[in-house]
Amino acid sequence: MNSASPLIQLRSVSKSYWKGTESIEAIAELDLELPEKGMVAIVGPSGSGKSTLLHLIGAMDRPTRGEVVVAGQVVNRLSQADLTHFRRQTVGFVFQTFNLIQNLTALENVALPMEFNGVGKSERTKRAKALLERFQLGHRLKHRPNELSGGEMQRVAIARAIANEPRLVLADEPTGNLDSRSGQMIYERLHEISRDRTVLVVTHAEDLARLADRVIHIRDGRLAQAEGSEADRHRPHAANFPQ
C-alpha cells in the first residue's frame, strides 16, 4: 500500500434520516481523508453524528449523498456480495456492547470471521488461539461470553476484529461499558493493533482520545477540527497523519 494514498476518503458525504415528517441531517457534506495505519479518535457530543460516520465508513449504512472510499473501493456502490466480502477482509468491528455470539466460546468467536473467510479449521484455531494468548486470554479459550468479565469480552471482540487481518478496525465506544481500568487496557490494545492498521475509535472519553494519533471533533454532522494529539510526537507512525 502506497502510504501517500489515503485508506479512507469521504467526498461530500451526507446522511439524512427521517424522523416522522422531519428530516434530520446526521452528516452534512463531510470531506475527510485518513491514511493507512494509526489510531484516530472521533469525539463529539451525543447526536453529533460520530457513530453515523463510523457506520458509513464500515459500510454498515449508506450515505444519502457523496462517496465513501475505503481501500480503493467505493463502499456505497458495492453489491451485497461485495459488501460481505468487504466486511470479511477489509474491516473489523469492535462494539460498545461487545456483541460476542453467546453460545460460542471465546476461541470460536475469534475463529468465526476466519471461517466466513474460508480459512481452514486447524489454521483458524491456531490463529484464534494465538490472538487470544496475545491479549492475555489463553486461559479463557473455552469460556463463553457470560463467563467473562467486560474487559475480557472486549479483548475477545478486538481479537475477533483483527482475526482476518483487516486494514481497518472500527470501534464504537469500545470502553463505554467498562470501568476506567479496563477501558485504559482496551485503549492500549487498540493502540497496539494500530501499528499495523488504521483504528478508528468513536469515544466520549476525551482523556482516552488524547492517546490517539489524531483526534477528529465532530459537531452537528460537520468536522469541528482535526488535530494531532499530544502523543503524536512520540509515535513512530505519527508522520503518516497530516498535521
Partner 1 sequence: MGMVILGLRNLLRNKLRLVLVAILIGIPFFLLLAMYSIGDAMQRQTAVLAENVNTVLQLRARGSMGHVNMVGQDRILPQHVLEKVRGIEHVEHVEPYLLAMAPITPPNFVMHVGLAPTAVKRLESHGEAGNPRIIAGRDFTPEDAGQAVAIIGQGYADWAGIKAEDVGKATLTVDPTRTHPAIFQMDRPTRELRIIGMYASGYVFGDLQLFMPINTFRSIYGTGEGISWLFVKVDSVDSISLVAQRLRETVRDVADILVPEHAAVFTATTSRTVTQISGAGGLLAIVLMVTVVFFVLLMAVRERAREIGTLKAIGASNGGVTVQFLTKAVALSLLGGALGLLLFRAVGSLLTGRLFALGIGPFLPSHYKPLFESLAVGNQVSASVLLLAFVVAVLAAVIGGSYGVWLALTLSPLEAMKHE
Which lies closer to partner 1 via its Cβ, residue 102 or residue 225?
102
To partner 1, the closest distance from the beta carbon of 115 in angstroms equals 6
The answer to the question of residue 154 lying near partner 1 (CB under 8 A) is: no
The answer to the question of residue 58 lying near partner 1 (CB under 8 A) is: yes
Q: Where does this chain touch partner 1 (CB under 8 A) — which range of 34-42, 56-64, 178-186, 202-210? A: 56-64
The answer to the question of residue 122 lying near partner 1 (CB under 8 A) is: no
Which lies closer to partner 1 via its Cβ, residue 135 or residue 241?
135
Q: Which of 55, 140, 189, 214 binds partner 1 (CB under 8 A)?
A: 55
Q: Which residue has the cell 512520540?
A: 234
Which lies closer to partner 1 via its Cβ, residue 84 or residue 136?
84
Which lies closer to partner 1 via its Cβ, residue 164 or residue 198?
164
Using CB under 8 A as the criterion, what x/- string covers residues 223-242 for binding partner 1? Answer: --------------------
The answer to the question of residue 79 lying near partner 1 (CB under 8 A) is: no
Strand partners, 160: none
To partner 1, the closest distance from the beta carbon of 227 in angstroms equals 29
Q: Which of 9, 76, 164, 182 binds partner 1 (CB under 8 A)?
A: 164
To partner 1, the closest distance from the beta carbon of 14 in angstroms equals 17
To partner 1, the closest distance from the beta carbon of 97 in angstroms equals 8
> Residue 61: which residues within 8 A CB-CB, separation 6 or more?
15, 52, 55
C-alpha cell at 120: 481452514
Amino acid, res. 66: G
The H or E element containing residue 190 is helix 180-193
> Could you count the other beta carbons within 10 Å of the beta carbon of residue 26?
22
Q: How many residues bind partner 1 (CB under 8 A)?
A: 27
Strands (E), the chain: 8-19, 22-34, 38-43, 65-70, 73-74, 91-94, 168-172, 198-203, 214-219, 222-228
Strand ordering across the sheet containing 22-34: 22-34, 8-19, 65-70, 73-74
Which lies closer to partner 1 via its Cβ, residue 15 or residue 189?
15
Q: Is 210 helix (H, G, I), strand (E, B) or coil?
A: coil
Q: At what angle do helices 150-161 and 106-116 cross, to 10 degrees?
A: 20
Provide the CA 210 distance to its chain's centre, in angstroms: 17
The answer to the question of residue 95 lying near partner 1 (CB under 8 A) is: yes
Strand partners, 67: 11
For partner 1, the binding residues (CB under 8 A) are: 55, 58, 60-61, 80-81, 84, 87-89, 92-93, 95, 99, 101-104, 108, 111-113, 115-117, 160, 164
